[in-house]
């Protein structure tokens, strides 16, 4: 049996409860190595993220989270960062090399709302008590950080610091990790940021969606209410916005090209129709 040099009162307390296999492994890794690393896979609507559990418990240092890195890269980075914290290095000061390939890395405080939202296993481990966390923020290949002029957006990552105003990057990441959002488990084959067309009344909320078409000419989706277009120009929207407002629209995830569907009212069944001008 591996030496449990990092066992704590908390790991002992958890061992006294009914743990499943994965929970047992997490506790064992923390007792043996001082922390465990959790990896959350990317989806069509959001990047991956990885974070540590155990550093705060057994050495009083913050947990660490990194977003958008390959799993192997994130695993090395987080383990190395915890080791440096354990050795007395203040990661919040300056930049640090030899953690993410050939570039530098910064560590910045994380707003508690993000730890509650993203670090579910850590929340379980700490019994939902607060704990500090820092984010590993990495640059582009020219060592330019997100706020630097000329930063390559290919390396964009959500920033989790307190008092930052959400950009579209943070907003999309938040909802992609929210089980109440369609982005959490996006069902349609089209990307959630595909442009779709709403009637002005549907967009404003004065009408609910009772008609949906999936046009064969360009693959476009239209979401209309009882007033159809209402005589006004359509409103362009990201696909996920009308789906978030009315999750029953997910019933049309398999609506083929060249078909349309209608219903008497939200909550009523859809009737599907093929556009007769579409060849067999």
What is the reported pLDDT for 232? 76
What is the reported pLDDT for 278? 58
Residue whose pair of structure tokens reads 């940021």 in the numeric block: 193
Neighbours of 175 (CB within 10 A): 18
Distance CA 79, CA 66 (A): 12
Neighbours of 150 (CB within 10 A): 7
What is the reported pLDDT for 2? 60
The pTM score is: 0.80
Say if residues 259 and 267 touch (Cβ distance below 8 Å): no
Ranges in the chain, pLDDT < 70? 1-2, 230-231, 277-280
Neighbours of 269 (CB within 10 A): 9
Distance CA 145, CA 204 (A): 38
Say if residues 107 and 137 touch (Cβ distance below 8 Å): yes
Tokens representing 240?
């996920």
What is the reported pLDDT for 43? 82
Nearest CA-CA partner of 64 in 32, 100, 28, 18:
100
What is the reported pLDDT for 1? 52
Q: Is beta strand 235-238 parallel, antiparallel or unpaired with respect to 221-224? A: unpaired
For residue 196, give every residue at least 6 positions away whose Cβ sits within 8 Å of its Cβ, in sequence order, or none.
220, 221, 222, 223, 236, 237, 238, 239, 242
Neighbours of 231 (CB within 10 A): 8
Tell me: the pLDDT tens digits for 173-227?
A: 998 898 888 888 889 999 888 999 999 999 999 999 999 999 988 889 999 999 8
- Can you give the residue ranges of every domain in the chain? 9-181, 187-274
């Amino acid at each position: 049996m591996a030496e449990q040099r990092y066992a704590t009162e908390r790991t002992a307390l958890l061992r006294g409860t009914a743990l499943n296999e994965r929970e047992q492994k997490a506790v064992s890794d923390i007792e043996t190595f001082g922390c465990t690393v959790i990896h959350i896979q990317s989806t069509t609507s959001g990047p991956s993220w990885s974070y540590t559990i155990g550093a705060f418990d057994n050495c009083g240092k913050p947990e660490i989270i990194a977003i958008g890195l390959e799993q192997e890269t994130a695993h090395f980075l987080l383990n190395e960062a915890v080791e440096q914290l354990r050795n007395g290095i203040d990661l919040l000061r300056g930049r640090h090399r030899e953690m993410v390939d050939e570039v530098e890395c910064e560590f910045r405080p994380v707003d508690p709302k993000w730890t509650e939202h993203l670090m579910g296993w850590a929340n379980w481990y700490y019994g939902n008590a607060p704990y500090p966390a820092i984010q590993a923020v990495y640059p582009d290949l020219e060592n330019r950080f997100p706020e630097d002029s000329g930063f390559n957006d290919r390396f964009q990552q959500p920033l989790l610091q307190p008092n930052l105003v959400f950009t579209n990057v943070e907003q999309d990441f938040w909802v992609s990790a929210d089980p109440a959002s369609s982005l959490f488990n996006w069902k349609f084959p089209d990307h959630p940021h595909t442009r779709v067309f709403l009637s002005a009344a549907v967009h404003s909320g004065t009408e609910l969606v009772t008609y949906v078409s999936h046009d064969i000419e360009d693959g476009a989706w239209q979401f209309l209410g009882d007033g159809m277009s209402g005589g006004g120009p359509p409103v362009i929207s990201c696909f996920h916005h009308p789906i978030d407002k009315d999750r029953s629209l997910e019933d049309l995830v398999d609506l083929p090209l060249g078909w349309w569907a209608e219903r008497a009212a939200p909550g009523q069944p859809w009737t599907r129709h093929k556009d007769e001008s579409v060849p067999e």
